[in-house]
Amino acid sequence: MDFWLPLFTTFSFSLLAIKLINPIAIKAGLVDLPCDRKVHDGNIPLVGGIAIYLAVLTASVLFIEHSRDLNLYLVASALVLFLGALDDRYRLSVRVRLVAQILVSSLIIFGTEIYLTSLGVLLGNIELKLGVLGIVVTVIAIIAGINAINMIDGMDGLAGMLSLIAFAALAFLLSRVASAWYLLPFLFIASLLGYLIFNLKRHTSSSKIFMGDAGNMLIGLTLIWLMVIGIELKSPALKPVTALYIIAVPIMDMVAVIIRRVKEKKSPFLADGQHLHHLFAEFGISRKHTLIVISIVASILAAIGCLAEVYLVPEWIMLLLFLALFCVYAVCTDKAWNKIKS
């Protein structure tokens, strides 16, 4: 099969879907309104996630051999997309979102009977096997992934670029072991490129759109699920610790923000303006340069994870390195915020 045909088809479907859905979203009130945390002009259509899903769905029907596991993923992703669209339109409570995310995670896990069975060899030569507890760990991982992408989506192009980088890493790793799932991350890359043209207004005829919670939840679910698939293959495409590097920036940002909120005796689910891109803005760095810097850092970390797989770096070393990087990140950002506040 011509490798470029699925990519070009998905990219074209993404552009077409955006053009078709945009006026419908505006009439239905599926738009993002400016507020104290969202500085933009006018009401921006939240159609990016829906367009990405429709493009990937159509291309997967045409180019990927269907199986029970793929069909269950498509159903679960449609459900999480619908949940996100409802949240975009009606602002669902945290409890409703979490319960729905648990149900969707459970559906795909019990339907496919695929979940994390081990955390890898992290203690010398001892493998941390999970057994049935792996189901709970996988549900938590999916929810964490969904919300990490959601929380990092606060600036034009940021969630899209970080997602594109993560999908590129997964495409590389899954391709190395000739997994049947390898084409799915490529389809998401093509669809995200179509979305980014509108989100970043890279063409004069394009109108700005946002991904919305629908897109964040869809991408978060897909990234984590592809990682679980890759980890649980007979010939694994990646180790559990490598997953941390693939989505390092969203994970580090989410955990650091939650820790900061808890220290300040605030709800960890309370939205605020203390994410990494907000910190760049406080120091007067432009959005363009912020996007470039964060994307480069994310690319380097994802590349480290991929190279560690290629050169068989021990998992415990990779874990210690990641924890050290996170500690440096958390301490530096915490000091930066304290300096701003003072």
Point out the annotated binding site for Mg(2+). 150, 213
- The label of the residue with tokens 């990937």 reads 56
Regarding beta strands 44-45 and 31-32, do their DSSP bridges make them parallel or antiparallel, or are they unpaired? antiparallel
User: What stretch of H or E contains 44?
Assistant: strand 44-45
Question: What distance in Å separates the CA atoms of residue 16 and residue 197, rounded to the nearest whole number?
Answer: 12
CA-derived radius of gyration, the chain: 19
Q: Estimate the crossing angle of helix 133-152 against helix 158-176, to 10 degrees.
A: 140
**DSSP code per residue over 202-260:** -STT------HHHHHHHHHHHHHHHHHHHHHSSS-SS-HHHHHHHTHHHHHHHHHHHHH
- Which residues make up each annotated binding site? 150, 213
How deeply is 285 buried, as exposed, middle or buried, from its count of CB atoms within 10 A (0-12, 13-18, 19+)? Answer: middle
CA pseudo-torsion sign 239, 242, 246, 252:
positive
With H, G, I as helix, E, B as strand and everything else as coil, classify residue 96.
Answer: helix
With H, G, I as helix, E, B as strand and everything else as coil, classify residue 190.
Answer: helix
Q: How many CB atoms lie within 10 A of CB 341?
A: 8
Tokens of 112: 């496919």
With H, G, I as helix, E, B as strand and everything else as coil, classify residue 45.
Answer: strand
| Amino acid symbol at 92 | L
